[in-house]
Structure 1
Amino acid sequence: MDIAERPTGAVKKPGGTAAMAFIIATVLIDALAFALIIPVLPALLMELTGQGLGPAAAWGGLATFIFAMAQFFCSPVLGGLSDRFGRRPVLLMSLAALAADFLLMGLAHALWVFFGARLLSGIFAATYATATAYVTDITPSENRAQRFGWIGAAMGVGFVIGPAIGGLLGELSPRAPFFAAAAFAGINAVFGYFAMRESLTDENRRAFSWRRANPFGTLLRLFRIEGLGTTVVIFFFVNLAGFVYPAIWTYALMAKFGWTESQVGISLAYYGVIFAVSQIVMVPFLLKHLGERRAIWVSIACQITTLTVVATATAGWQIYLILNLALISSIFGPAMQKIMTERVASNAQGELQGGLAALNGTILVISPLIYTQLFSVFESGELGVRFAGAPFVMAAVFSLTGLVLFLSRRQIEKS
């Protein structure tokens, strides 16, 4: 069955409350584990390389590139496996690999070990995609945007707690947050083994196909779905812009304002609070009053504004002020996810999420090459000017491209 085809008959939705609680806990702990290491990653890379902040950013970009390539090729495979064998085994495997990844990074005393850990993580990077497919399995269409918002809120809370803890642990050792992250991920994997029930019903399973698991074929099928092609392009550009934050946030703020690991951690915690409030309160409120399509273009416009101000900010307080716009800009994800899941068959949600993960893998391949290298060039003054905000200007251009495409698409639909 093609990804765009819909099986006939009603699809039974498994019970949702307990399952949602586990998924929210999974996303929360995973976000916490990832956020723990963000403030100390530059220090670890400088320790491993013996070089300064600019080269460390370039090495960090290369590590992200390796992760992204592995994710790009493996995510559609894991998505197809989850459509065949269920979400539970794929999610548990991903959680276990995540714990091993953090442990290896914490133990690394050579760059090749660090890069090996990033490769392992990229191969099994299906936690969020599989969790989203799980939510789609157990949630009626009309409630999906709200529940995707809950997942986003869990990520936000993780980013509230994680950077603060990571920054404090980083004062002891740049490796301490990695061990803490490995412990959190490992505990979550064990908890999931005993607590997680399968969400994919037998009638919605389908045979695994290597042809369908090809990332290029999966992306091509996403573009071919009626009404989804342009949406995928918009998703690509807006997410490419958003990836500037994990790629360069720590490096840029240290370069612009001389912030320490703790100060970076506090800024990320503040953003996490704003993001969580947005997902819990603003997503259902604005989607109800604006509708998905209007909420999307408003959120993209807010993202452009945020990126521009971050790029040109001259004081740290300006960063905190503009981050409040995340109350609106972070609505993009849940609204877009809801639209996409409604255009894909129930037995192909894993393939859809695997395809989107592959698309994000493509973004991860491109974004470090753009943002970290751009930062390295401008931070070093090689072009005769030092401007640490250059990556955020480029990200704003990508967001503007997505906004123009979205508004143009709406005009075509109206004509």
Structure 2
Amino acid sequence: MRLPFLFVLLTVMIDAMGIGLVLPIMPELIVEVQGGTLASAAIWGGVLSTTFAAMQFVFGPILGNLSDAYGRRVVLLVSLFVMALDYVVMALAGSIWLLVLGRLVGGITAATHATAAAFMADVSKPKDKAANFGLLGAAFGVGFVLGPVIGGLLSEYGTRAPFWAAAGLSTLAFAIGVFVMPETVTDKTRRTFSLRRANPVNSLRAIASLPGIRPMLWVYFLYSVSIYVYPAIWAYFTTERFGWSPQMIGLSLGVYGIGMAAVQGGLIRPATRYFGERRTIIFGMGFEIVSFIILGFLTNGFIALMLIPITAIGAIVTPALQAMTSRATPDSQQGELQGVLTSLHAMSMVISPLVMTSVFAQFARPDAVLYLPGAPFLLAMLLMVVGFVLFFRSPKVMT
């Protein structure tokens, strides 16, 4: 099982690289195909992110249920193959509407991480789940280190070069998976596919009905809405506040990825072992609250760059929350659970980019009553506080 385990980590890393590759060039690309100002580009950036997320919300539970019925292998490989085609479409897009179409298809196929998480749940002992989910997060972080840095460098060759690179990476992952990826769903754990149950609302109800799960789902959702402020506005915020170039934006995202990989790959195991998952989550959310306050008012780009790896400590929350919910879910519903978590994350990606970019546009305008480009981070802080209080007051039934 060692090669498949490494392949799944590699797939998540390549997926993160594909996402990170295009982040540094999105503001420039949107202005190129649509025209307008950076503020209007931020609005279109929110639309593209929301389109992507809306498809994840609808199809996340469907793909999760399909993986419970037909296996992780087929869902993972098909997703990678179509994802490669989607990046080709994005590379050739000459209008904003083709970019929107590309994000529609991309959102449908972006089940790689959820399917990988279901695979990890299949092969992990209960005591190892937090650590193995952390390895997935670390792999994502490594990809996020390489992706933005490479994307920033490739931007020297035009705004389309990163899309071609992302298409190549997805194709490579697909080719490797064909040869090494086994099936981990057995006849014992296989569950018949039901389109009615695959509905996002019905899947959410089924998982939320499990003992102790409902408050954790709310916390996961609020945390996701808050944390998505980073990819939603970082390129626009750092361009406006610090005058950073695409190369500098790529470097900063790479620094964040290094920090996230170090936290989820190295810190999560000792943290959950010595403090338990519950106190680990409380610490991580508290750390994010402080980070958001600082970024909200920060005006020095050098300090922002130095602060990035420290803010990554908050990434410890996700694997701990995943482990708590996975341990409380039957083996036959692990794919459904990951689909629900993907759906909640997707819903946060629907809400967060639209809200955060709109707040940024209002406070970054030349005629703004209060010029405060960091305002979205302060909004994220308030949402994180709500999630923190809800988690702190929730029953300790899964600890």
* TM-score category of the 2 structures, normalised to the smaller one: over 0.9
Distance 2:309 2:243 in 1: 22
Structure 2 residue 251 is the aligned partner of structure 1 residue 266: yes
How big is the shift at 1:381? 4.3
Q: Which residue in 1 is equivalent to 2:3?
A: 18
1:191 to 176, 184, 187: 176
**Letter paired with 2:58:** F
1:150 is paired with a residue whose SS is helix
Q: Name whichever of 321-330 and 276-285 sits farther off.
A: 321-330
Q: Which residue in 1 is equivalent to 2:379?
A: 394
Number of matched pairs: 398
Distance 2:204 2:267 in 1: 31
Q: Which residue in 2 is equivalent to 1:222?
A: 207
Q: Which residue in 2 is equivalent to 1:49?
A: 34
**Letter paired with 2:113:** Y
Structure 2 residue 343 is the aligned partner of structure 1 residue 369: no
How big is the shift at 1:304? 0.8
How big is the shift at 1:344? 0.7
Q: Which residue in 1 is equivalent to 2:83?
A: 98
Q: Which residue in 2 is equivalent to 1:127?
A: 112
- Does the 8 Å contact 1:72/1:359 carry over to 2? yes
Structure 2 residue 269 is the aligned partner of structure 1 residue 288: no
Q: Name whichever of 17-26 and 252-261 sits farther off.
A: 17-26
**Letter paired with 1:245:** Y
Q: Name whichever of 185-194 and 79-88 sits farther off.
A: 185-194
How big is the shift at 1:320? 2.5
1:15-414 aligned at under 5 Å gives the runs 16-381=1-366, 383-409=368-394
Distance 2:312 2:147 in 1: 20
How big is the shift at 1:99? 1.0
- Could you tell me which runs of 5 or more consecutive residues in structure 1 were left unpaired when the two chains were aligned: 1-15
1:202 is paired with a residue whose SS is coil
- Does the 8 Å contact 1:303/1:326 carry over to 2? yes
Q: TM-score, normalised by structure 1?
A: 0.93
- Does the 8 Å contact 1:102/1:178 carry over to 2? yes
- Does the 8 Å contact 2:259/2:313 carry over to 1? no
**Letter paired with 2:382:** V
1:291 is paired with a residue whose SS is helix
**Letter paired with 1:198:** E
CA-to-aligned-CA distance 1:213-269 (integer Å, 9 cap, x gap): 011111222322210111111111111101111111111000100000001011111
- Does the 8 Å contact 1:295/1:331 carry over to 2? yes
Distance 2:372 2:226 in 1: 18
Specify whether residues 232 and 382 from structure 1 end up closer, same or farther in structure 2 by C-alpha distance, changes over 3 A only. farther
**Letter paired with 2:340:** G
- Does the 8 Å contact 1:298/1:328 carry over to 2? no
- Could you tell me which runs of 5 or more consecutive residues in structure 2 were left unpaired when the two chains were aligned: none
**Letter paired with 1:231:** M
2:188 is paired with a residue whose SS is helix
CA-to-aligned-CA distance 1:81-117 (integer Å, 9 cap, x gap): 1000000110111111211121111111011111111
Distance 1:60 1:382 in 2: 21
1:204 is paired with a residue whose SS is coil
Distance 2:312 2:166 in 1: 27
Q: Give the % identical residues.
A: 39
CA-to-aligned-CA distance 1:68-89 (integer Å, 9 cap, x gap): 2211111111111100000011
Distance 1:258 1:323 in 2: 17
**Letter paired with 2:154:** L
**Letter paired with 2:362:** V
CA-to-aligned-CA distance 1:43-86 (integer Å, 9 cap, x gap): 11110111111111100111112112211111111111100000
- Does the 8 Å contact 1:303/1:325 carry over to 2? no
CA-to-aligned-CA distance 1:146-168 (integer Å, 9 cap, x gap): 11111111111111111111101
Distance 1:183 1:247 in 2: 25
Q: TM-score, normalised by structure 2?
A: 0.97
How big is the shift at 1:382? 5.0
Distance 1:392 1:326 in 2: 12
2:394 is paired with a residue whose SS is helix
- CA RMSD for the aligned pairs? 1.4
Distance 1:401 1:125 in 2: 29
Q: Name whichever of 126-135 and 322-331 sits farther off.
A: 322-331
